[in-house]
Structure 1
């Protein structure tokens, strides 16, 4: 994976792996999800990722209601790495192609910062 994982997304990707982590973020991102170290089969989280992964995620992040980040820029870069077109990414993430292109731009780290380092 060439896509750098942002710190606020790292626990999800480390615990669930990139593909399942992205599925989880797409399903629950931007809202609350209840995590439990003893999940019920009827839990929407368990139904998506399975009881074992649910328990691992709860152990890593803590039990209870948790706001899940959107992570659309990370997901867009991951899809691009898998060969998706900009338009396909935009449609899947329900954003404009302009937003996707902005997220995919390569930053030039050689440029000096106005504020210094």
Structure 2
């Protein structure tokens, strides 16, 4: 599967987690502050999602143990579309509007413009 190129500030997430898990992680935790413990105890939702080893490796790449996780909506819209999600599924996952998703996909060139129906009369 060909994912769109990710922004540089997501390098650590993609490197440690891989594309699929990084997308899930960013959808779940994006926009909130997360603590990366040096010795995970098995009690966090982040550890349940990515595992203790990857949580420690990701934490080692962060500047501070308490880090705000980015919410790169534009890239996530394109990445979820590359995974085969419908516009409605993307809207529900990212809590955004269909207008935003369609515009983002159109501007990125990921969504072809609809061709006019030849049987439809022009109003102008």
Give the TM-score, by structure 2 length: 0.77
- Contact kept, 8 Å, 2:74 with 2:104, in 1: the verdict is yes
Larger Rg: 2
Counterparts of 1:1-117 in structure 2 under 5 Å? 1-107=2-108
Q: Please give the root-mean-square deviation of Cα atoms over the aligned residues, in Å.
A: 1.7
Contact 1:35 1:62 in 2 (8 A): no
Shift of 1:92: 2.0
- Give distance in 1, aligned partners of 2:35 and 2:16: 16
- By how many angstroms is 1:60 displaced? 1.5
Structure 1 position 87, deviation (Å)? 2.1
5+ residue gaps, structure 2, are 110-124
Runs of 4+ in structure 1 off by over 4 angstroms are: none
In the alignment, the residues of structure 1 paired with residue 50 and residue 3 of structure 2 have an alpha-carbon distance, to the nearest angstrom, of 24
Structure 1 unaligned regions, length at least 5: 109-117
Per-residue CA deviations over 1:16-64 (Å, capped at 9, x if unaligned) read 1111111111111111000123212112321221101101101122451
